[in-house]
Amino acid sequence: MKSNLLLLLLVGTYAVPALAPAQSIDTTVPASQQAAGITDPWAPTHGVKSAEQFDKEWQDSVSKFDARRIALLKEADEQAHDGPYGPDWETLRNHEIPQWFKEAKFGIFIGWGVYAVPGAVNEWYPHNMYRPGDPAHEDFVKRFGGFDNRGYKDFIPLFRAEKWDPKDWVKLFKQAGAKYVVPIAEHHDGFAMYDSDLSDWTVMKMGPHRDVLAELSAAIRGAGLHFGLSSHRAEHNYYYDEGRSIRSDVNDPKYASFYGPAHQWLNDPHFNPVNEWTYVSDAWLRDWLARSVELVERYKPELMYFDGGNGQPAYRASMTEFTAFYDNFAVRHHIDGVITLKDFAMEWTAGARDFERSLRTDIDPRPWQTDTSISNLSWGYMEHDQFKTPEFLIHQLVDIVSKNGNLLLSIGPRADGTIPDEVRAILLDIGEWLDLNGEAIYATEPWIISGEGPTQVKAGFATDQDMKPYTSSDFRFTRKGENLYIISLACPADGTATVHALGLAGEARNNVIREVDLLGSNQKVDWLQTTGALNVKLPQDAACKYGFALRVKFASSQQTQAREVRK
């Protein structure tokens, strides 16, 4: 029913204008197409044109922005050499991760863009809809009539954000317990969710006609949260390559300013960017750097998130210059800034490493981040989605924090700007747990060990959903000042807990416990520290939704010893 309704919307409000000359296929074949012997501007070009030709068409399509691009690149070069940091990793690796990032622990990532209009399969719909046999391709043909006179660009007028209230979003994020928010400035699809001087394909000039990033930044900062932004522009270089192999609007140079060069994606089978051989021109790298600089100068983010495409070797010099520019810009404008990096985009100690949908098996002495989605299927909005449970996400947060990491959780709003009720409910559930147990999460540090218990954590890309259910014998540890926190990952049926690491012969190293309290409760906790374990009996009315948290204080004479052991 919803699919039919969306088809009617497309036909009733968009497909009719698409038949007008401005939207219909231009029968005038561009000179570059004629030279290649192509009589149909939408005809397949893969294997017909060279990578240099593709890139030249894109360069010509954005040439009107050359003056502004040159100015931004000049500013980048000047600021990269003016400050405590230079475009070299000897100085950049001295960058200190800001205290706010270390203490925040939980953030929200906003996967919002034009791909919310079809709202199907996943956020890679724009790429896969041009790939015959893919579910996204079949969905586009079935619901929207195929590629005869339309393509992904034709979803833009339906991306209206007519019900969007940024303050309502931020109120929800704050209720969820998030301390920082990272909206996508530009996803792989190439549609800028901000006001850009380097593109006509932006939210200010099309679709909502609102500067989404500016409004979000004001709402986020106004609520006392930290503002970051995410750029996936590097991946746009190849994102529409599948459209080159079929008759589609991707092949028409008239739309090159949106679809980009659409180079063939020569990726590593295991997605290792170091072994990627996709064509990347110097012109593309200059444009990427200019757009990144524009984002920083205009919105002054406290966090810059780049996706994995920046790890391709071709980006090394550009990433070096950008990092020097951003770090110096942050110093000059009194911004406690941090860049999160994936794979090999930067020297690892120059920012905070990000592990996509991945957990760690050990404590990392340097703060890090996991990004994952509230959905099991997509990073953006899709109808008939499948979501992770609040319990799963809370346990993931606890495990990550115990190992010195942060959790950045992606949500996908609808094209009209509303957040699905299921997503709201999950976020509020997380917030309720954090209201009770946040003392054991925020502004904490790792203990001697991250935890104990029989359930093993699996590391590696996209392994976060491979976890087995935790048991009442699984615990994680954090500490803050003189307090140690024990966080359970399941509720004990008999109301008791046995923590072996807190026994006098365990990692507690003969540290004598003075006091044990249950967070969120004024009731007395019965406990006994033996050589082998700390044995706890919870109060009868103890709240244990998704797990409980205990605050442990050691005898004063032993606190110094505990700190010395950790050092």
Tens digits of residue pLDDT in 521-535: 999 999 999 999 999
Judged by DSSP in three states, 442 sits in coil
Dist CA 142 CA 118 (whole Å): 12
User: What pLDDT, on a 0 to 100 scale, did the predictor assign at position 140?
Assistant: 97
Instruction: Look at residues 157, 255, 170, 168 and name the one whose alpha carbon lies nearest to residue 209.
Output: 157
Residue 4's Cα: distance from chain center in Å?
Answer: 32
User: What pLDDT, on a 0 to 100 scale, did the predictor assign at position 29?
Assistant: 64
Q: Which helix (H) or strand (E) holds 215?
A: helix 212-222
What number is the average pLDDT over the span 69-73?
A: 98
Does 109 have pLDDT greater than 60? yes
User: What pLDDT, on a 0 to 100 scale, did the predictor assign at position 448?
Assistant: 96
Does 416 have pLDDT greater than 80? yes
The rounded percent of the chain whose pLDDT value lies above 90 is: 85
Does 14 have pLDDT greater than 70? no
User: What pLDDT, on a 0 to 100 scale, did the predictor assign at position 459?
Assistant: 84
Pull the structure tokens for residue 264: 């063939």
Cite the beta strand spans of 76-216 per DSSP E: 106-110, 180-186
Dist CA 192 CA 113 (whole Å): 9
Does 240 have pLDDT greater than 80? yes
CB atoms within 10 A of CB 78: 11
* pTM for this prediction: 0.92
CA distances (Å), origin 30, targets 20, 33, 54, 215, 543: 20, 5, 13, 39, 69
CA distances (Å), origin 153, targets 122, 194, 382, 406, 448: 17, 17, 18, 35, 53
Q: Counting beta carbons within 10 angstroms of the beta carbon of residue 259, is it exposed (0 to 12), middle (13 to 18) or buried (19 or more)? A: buried
Does 347 have pLDDT greater than 70? yes
The rounded percent of the chain whose pLDDT value lies above 70 is: 91
Quickly state the pLDDT bin for 30 (edges 50, 70, 90).
low
| Edge-to-edge strand list for the sheet holding 513-518 | 445-452, 475-480, 483-488, 549-554, 513-518
Residue 191's Cα: distance from chain center in Å?
Answer: 17
Quickly state the pLDDT bin for 10 (edges 50, 70, 90).
very low
Quickly state the pLDDT bin for 424 (edges 50, 70, 90).
very high
Dist CA 421 CA 110 (whole Å): 16
Does 486 have pLDDT greater than 80? yes
Instruction: Look at residues 55, 81, 527, 44 and name the one whose alpha carbon lies nearest to residue 329.
Output: 81
User: What pLDDT, on a 0 to 100 scale, did the predictor assign at position 344?
Assistant: 86
Strand-pair category, 475-480 with 445-452: antiparallel
**Amino acid symbol at 293:** V
- CB environment 495-526: b (16+ within 10 A), e (fewer): eebbbbbbbbebebeebebeebbbbbeeeebe
Q: Which helix (H) or strand (E) holds 68?
A: helix 66-80
Quickly state the pLDDT bin for 12 (edges 50, 70, 90).
very low
Does 500 have pLDDT greater than 80? yes
Tens of pLDDT, residue by residue over 299-310, are 999 999 999 899
